Amino acid sequence: MPTSRSRHKKPDRRSPIQGSSREIPRLSKAPSGSSQLSPPRPRLRKWAIRIAKICGAVAAIFGLAASVSALSGGLPWPTGPEIHPHDTVDALSFVLPFMVTNKSAWFNTYVADSGCRVNLLYFMDADNHTALVRDVKFNTGAFDIPPGPPINYPCDAAKYIRILSDGSMVIGFPYGQLMKTGPDAFHPPLTILKMCLWISGHYRVFGIAAPFTSKMFQWPAEPNQRQWIEGRIVFDPDEAKWIPSGSKLVGAWGLRKLTTISQVGDVKLLPGALQCDAGS
């Protein structure tokens, strides 16, 4: 009998290898949302250390400056001028005294330009002739303020208002715009009845100009009270108290209307003419 041939099946290559305990490893996907953190770069770490050192040095410098300023009583940075009037004023003098202080402990304050801004100046001469000047300015020039005690700062209005030998009054500077009255209008001495002014200008910090403005100053506080008012001026409704009895208004000058003519032909001050602007 012919021998029968058995059919051998080919092994399935897709099935795991028989007789082996090892299996082919399979790659598994990382769960969604997970990420691997990389270690910080050495260059970024060096910059962070440098910035921390710089901040520490700046903090130490400011701490030292604050300590020195506390001992010296001043500020460790440049400051603008601080201006205050003297306690009293000589009513017969048009040189108005002020004190200016530099609050910095280390830096000088250089004032490049400054000026006295006269908001109101009401005065009388020896013959009870009165006059009013408003809204004028005269420059006082440049000066340097060292740290420490205050220095004098005079607003010299005597150079701006003068009585000549013929009795005429000149308001203004000799080589600028000026106004002049007729002869025998005023006779010295002049007495200040009321005035309001402030001081402004520019000071320089490392070559950069910065503005400064003082408070408004009024002198006197009342007709018989020889004291300054510093700061915002309170509205004064009673203007008649400032006008001396038996006086005669001769002139009024300003950048606003100040006078009117009465029915009998006399020159009278308008309401509000003797009120100082509020200021700050």
Q: What is the pLDDT of residues 179-190, one digit of tens each?
A: 899 999 999 999
Question: Looking at the domain assignment, is residue 143 inside a domain?
Answer: yes
Domain hosting residue 181, numbered range: 81-269
Domain co-membership, 191 together with 88 = yes
Domain co-membership, 65 together with 90 = no
pLDDT value of residue 240: 93
Please give the C-alpha separations between residue 70 and each of 66, 67, 101, 146, 210, in angstroms, as whole numbers. 6, 5, 17, 18, 26
Domain co-membership, 59 together with 198 = no
Domain co-membership, 179 together with 67 = no
What is the CA angle 144-139-233, rounded to 5? 95
pLDDT value of residue 42: 66
Domain co-membership, 70 together with 123 = no
Give pLDDT < 70 ranges for the chain.
1-44, 53, 56-74, 87-89, 91, 174-175, 280
| Paired tokens of 26 | 């399979």
In the chain, the amino acid numbered 253 is W
Question: Looking at the domain assignment, is residue 8 inside a domain?
Answer: no
pLDDT value of residue 61: 57
* Neighbour-count burial for 142-157, b at 16+ CB within 10 Å, e otherwise: ebebebeeeeebebeb
Domain co-membership, 132 together with 147 = yes
- Give per-residue pLDDT as tens, 130-165: 999 999 988 888 999 999 899 998 888 888 899 999
Q: Per the structure, how many domains does the chain have?
A: 2
**Which residue in 45, 99, 105 sits closest to 77, CA to CA?**
105
Domain co-membership, 54 together with 101 = no
Question: Looking at the domain assignment, is residue 224 inside a domain?
Answer: yes
Question: Looking at the domain assignment, is residue 44 inside a domain?
Answer: no
Which runs of consecutive H residues, i.e. helices, occur in the chain?
42-72
Question: Looking at the domain assignment, is residue 26 inside a domain?
Answer: no
Task: Report the SS3 class of residue 182.
Answer: coil
Please give the C-alpha separations between residue 260 and each of 134, 237, 265, 272, 276, in angstroms, as whole numbers. 16, 19, 9, 12, 19
pLDDT value of residue 73: 54
In the chain, the amino acid numbered 169 is M
pLDDT value of residue 29: 52
Using only C-alpha atoms, what is the Rg of the chain? 42
Rounded CA gap, 148 and 72, in Å?
Answer: 9
Rounded CA gap, 65 and 188, in Å?
Answer: 54
Question: Looking at the domain assignment, is residue 140 inside a domain?
Answer: yes
Boundary residue ending a domain (25, 58, 77): 77
pLDDT value of residue 175: 67
Residues listed for the chain: 280
Domain co-membership, 212 together with 98 = yes
pLDDT value of residue 62: 54
Rounded CA gap, 177 and 136, in Å?
Answer: 12
Domain co-membership, 63 together with 182 = no
Question: Looking at the domain assignment, is residue 66 inside a domain?
Answer: yes
Domain co-membership, 66 together with 147 = no
Domain co-membership, 100 together with 233 = yes
Question: Looking at the domain assignment, is residue 36 inside a domain?
Answer: no
Phi, psi of 216 (to 5 degrees): -80, 140
Boundary residue ending a domain (58, 77, 96): 77
Boundary residue ending a domain (60, 77, 94): 77
Q: Is the dihedral of CA 240, 134, 193, 162 positive or negative?
A: negative
Domain co-membership, 188 together with 119 = yes
pLDDT value of residue 204: 93
pLDDT value of residue 6: 47
Peptide linkage before 189 cis (omega within 30 of 0): yes
